[in-house]
Each structure stands twice: as C-alpha cells, then as structure tokens.
Amino acid sequence: MKSVFLFLMTILLVSCSEQNSEKTKEELTRPNILWIVAEDLSPVIPSFGDSTIVTPNLSRLAKEGVCYDRMFSPSGVCSPSRAAIATGMYPTHIGANHMRTGPWFADVPQSFIDNYAKGAMPPGIIPYEAIPQPEVKMMSEYLRGQGYYCTNNAKQDYQFKKSLMAWDECSTKAHWRNREEGQPFFSIFNMEVTHESRIWAKAKDSLWVSEDLDVPVPPYLPTTDSSLMDIRRMYSNIKEMDQRVGQLLKELEDDGLLEKTIVFWYTDHGGPLPRQKRLTYDSGLRVPMIIRFPNGERAGSREGRLLSFIDFAPTVLSLVGIEPPEYIDGKAFLGEFKEDSERDYIHAAADRFDETAADPIRTVRDPRYKLIRYYDTHKPMFYPVGYREQMPIMRELHRLKNKGALTAEQALWFRVTKPEIELFDTELDPHELVNLAGKEEFEEIQKRLTSELDSWLASFEDLNMLPEIELMAKLWPDGIQPVTSAPVLENTENGVALASETEGASIGYKIIRGQDTTNSWRLYREPISLDEEERLMAVAHRIGYKPSEAVSE
C-alpha cells in the first residue's frame, strides 16, 4: 500500500513539475520589461570599479543581476543615442546623428521655431525631423502589436517626433500601474538628475555627499576648487538617482512583479563633464548596464562581450518571443532569437552639436583598441558648445588655457588642428591620451581597424556625411515636411479595414461610443468589428512625416 502511495505521489509531483515548467516557459516568453535610464553617466559606480560613493540600490541590482562591462552608445550625446535605442538602427544610417535637428514640443509656435533655429542651429538650417527608411518602426510598436502595455516617462528626443502609435502613455504620469490587470508591460523611466545640466542647475542645492569628498579627477580635467565641486556634484547626483532606482524596485516588489520583470538599468551615453559627453572617446561612449532577470538567473555575474545600443531593440523583441525584423542593424544578445556570433567591433560617430559647425568623426573599437578618423583635420579639436559653456569646470579649463597653465593632457583637447587618425590602447591608456597611429609596432592593428571602419561605412549610406543643407533638402523638399496620407476606411465582411498610401505608415485607431474614446491610438493590425452604436476614428503616421489628419467612419 505504501509503495502504491509513493508511486502515485511521484506521478503527481512529476505532473506538477511539468505543468510548472510549461507555465514558466510561457511566462518567460512574455516577461514584463522595465528600463531605468540614467543620463550622461560613465561607469563611475561601485559595481563598475569606482568606490567613491555607495549606491545601495544599484549595488543590489548588480548583486541580483548581470553587469555588462562593454556596452557602448553609437553616439556620445543623447538624441542620436535615443534614436538608436528606439529603432535598432545606427543614427548615421537613418540621418539622425546631428545634435539636434529641432525642438520636440507639441504645438510649437512658429516664432519659437524661428528663434530656436537662429540660436541653436547653424545658419540656413531650420528645425527638421530625421526620416528613417519606410520600414523602420519604433521598437515599442512591435510590443504593442503583441499586446504589451508600453509607457514612457517621459523623455523623448529621438531626432523625430514619436510615432503616434509608439506608446499607450507617454507623460510624467506614465506607469505600468495604469495598464489592465494581467497585461504584460514595457515601461521606461528616464532619470534626468544625472544630466549634464544638473551640474550647474543644482549648484546651490545641498550635496548628497560630503562637501570635501575625495573624488578622482581624470588627467584631462583640472583639480581646482571649483572643478572639484562640479565633480562632487556629479557624484551627488548619482546618489540621488540611486534613491529613485530603489523607489522603482520597491514599487515592483509592492506590486508582486519583481520576479516577473526583466529590469534594465543603463545610461544614455558617457559622462557629463568636459571631454566626455559628445566625443567618441570611451568617456563619451562607454556606459554601465545592469540587467536583473527573474528568480536569480545569472545573479552576480559579469558579461564582457562588446554590445551596442543598436542591439537593444532586437534583444527586447527576442526576450518576449518576437523575431526581430531583418532591416535592424543590431543583433539580439539575449532571448529566443539571440544571435550565435558575438560582436568583434562597435562603431560610433559624431557630427554637428547644437549651434556648432558639422565636424564629422567616425570610430571603430574592438575589445581593446580604438581607431578614430577625423575628416575635417583643419578644424580645431575643441568646439565651444553654448550649453556646455555654462559649466564651471568648463570655464576653469578656459581660464587655465588663457593663462597657459593647462597640463599636457588637458591641452590635447584644445589642439588647433586634428590628426587624420587616432589609435588608442584602451587597456593601457583608458583615458585615450597617447596616440599610437603611425607607430610601426601598431601598423597591423591600425590596418585592421581601418579596414573594418571602411567596411562598416560601405554597408549603408551614411546620411550624415551629406552636407546638412543637402540632407535637409532630401528629407524635407523645399523645407516642407512631408505629410502622411490619411487612412482609407473600407467596410469588409471581416470588419473595417484601414490602409494608408504612405509607404511605411503605421495606422492607429480609436473606437468611439458616445463621447468616450480610448486615451491613446490603438495599433491597427487587422479589420475591426464595430457594434451599431460604435464608430471608428483613425490616423496614420510615418516616422519623420507629419501625422495625417484623423478620419472617422
């Protein structure tokens, strides 16, 4: 009798185990995804080797997750980086690498646009949107198409206005808590407290660190009192950001969702200090990233492979069981559609920054060596950007330069011309101060990286190598933004079908019953059935085009 009981219990346990296995497999194909995004920050936290301050919440994430040591942005500034993240495309491939192309606010008065163009863009350039190839979509559209609730809180800045179909909610109130119960979500929270501007904007705020905190100073920056205060402010802002990370993790835990959610924490490009942001040195491109997987998967591990922001979109799609579209430049590094081969190189570019003249730079890096190619070598290495000039530590550099008191390392940034090539050993020279280009012992490395850079540039049309006036004319003929064709509604036996004549346009719809409508445009995928008391409103939008007028049945 006892043996029969044990036999039946064994069958029951195996059956339960199989059911739980199937359930787990199903849940893992539709996990929630949370992105916590800090701004303007290099890997200067304890989990990445900098013990200047304590960051308990990021350290917790690192202990429970995976630290990625070689994650890079394809641009050293936010808007092109965000374009790459949103689309999985190189900013230069979609003409989105100039920083920036326009003010992205709703209903901007023409007078504001005119003044913006005069003050923040070179002569002859008006605010315009980059227009990616017609097949390019924002990543969140694919997730919404599979039933995900997608929110962005709240920064956009993609070099084009967001697709009307990109988000269920995009505002400072956007949150996964606003979704229908049980609906999987993809939510982004952007934390601006570490942004470059907060170095000077928060100068009078009390510090989250000691006023005499001993801080490391890169050799390319001065060690004067005002400079040290800016660096302390950077670390103070990191402490403040860390607290917000903890708040979000607690909200996940309070909702019982922490073990059902893949949490990404990363920064949008390198650090906020001079000779960091905007450049293609590692100080501008290399970022820290931590991913926490449910149920302790890979907890406390590190990953050293080369990764780029263009890999984010295909990776998130792969994690939720969506095969990434073929046009995407990036490669999935996790999930069902993870690519077998790893990257040998990452690539990056810099072009125009705000009101400065275009100054094209193209870069390639392997796990150790970095090659930077400068195209306008007659131009100075340094360009004053009005935004950055507000920072006290930047003013200190100018003061020391005018006194002839810069160190050799600091003076490198202020060279009056540029070399054609810079080559760095990032392992022995992490601040990229010793140019190895032209040295006999590095000839083969230089040839290999040059060949790789040429190969990358030949793989697509680098739109940002066009003079910007020509690029703008190509995208906006006669300076006029193209308009998406309005959707055509057709009654079929399966419901109301929608189509737009604009190639690549996404179509959104709302179902109206009385005065009630949904808050956001639903993503159209198939004919829509309506009750007698319902009517349909629809809109079409191709990225970079002006949205169509809304039409209704």
CB 38 within 8 A of CB 46: no
CA–CA gap between residue 141 and residue 132 (Å, rounded): 15
Read out DSSP for 130-192? ----TT---HHHHHHHTT-EEEEES---SSSPPPTTS-SEESTT--GGGSPTT--EEEEEEEG
CA–CA gap between residue 366 and residue 452 (Å, rounded): 10
Rounded to two decimals, the pTM is: 0.93
Q: Can you list the positions of beta strands (E) in 475-530?
A: 488-492, 495-499, 506-513, 522-523
Low-confidence ranges of the chain (pLDDT < 70): 1-29, 104-107, 515-518
CB 91 within 8 A of CB 97: yes
CA–CA gap between residue 348 and residue 486 (Å, rounded): 37
Identify the active-site residue in 16, 67, 78, 170: 78
**How long, in residues, is the chain?**
553
Q: What share of the chain is helix, strand, coil (3-state, %, to 5)?
A: 35, 20, 50
- Identify the pLDDT of residue 218: 98
Does 67 qualify as catalytic in the annotation? no
The two three-digit tokens of residue 489, written as one number: 């509604």
- Identify the pLDDT of residue 463: 98
CA–CA gap between residue 423 and residue 436 (Å, rounded): 5
Q: In the chain, what is the greatest distance between 2 CA atoms, to the nearest angstrom?
A: 96
Residue whose token pair is 């990021």: 58
The two three-digit tokens of residue 487, written as one number: 């959707």
Q: Which helix (H) or strand (E) holds 536?
A: strand 534-541
- Identify the pLDDT of residue 356: 92
Sign of the C-alpha dihedral computed for residues 242, 245, 247 and 250 taken in this order: negative
What are the C-alpha distances in Å from 149 to residues 34, 167, 197, 261, 323?
11, 8, 32, 13, 19
The two three-digit tokens of residue 360, written as one number: 């094209």
Instruction: Find the helix packing angle between 312-319 and 78-87, rounded to 10°.
Output: 40
Q: Quick one: which of 100, 138, 179 has its CA closest to 387?
A: 100
Query: Helix, strand or coil for residue 373?
Result: strand
One-letter amino acid at 515 equals Q
Query: Helix, strand or coil for residue 55?
Result: coil
One-letter amino acid at 441 equals E
- According to DSSP, residue 52 is labeled S
The two three-digit tokens of residue 477, written as one number: 């003929």
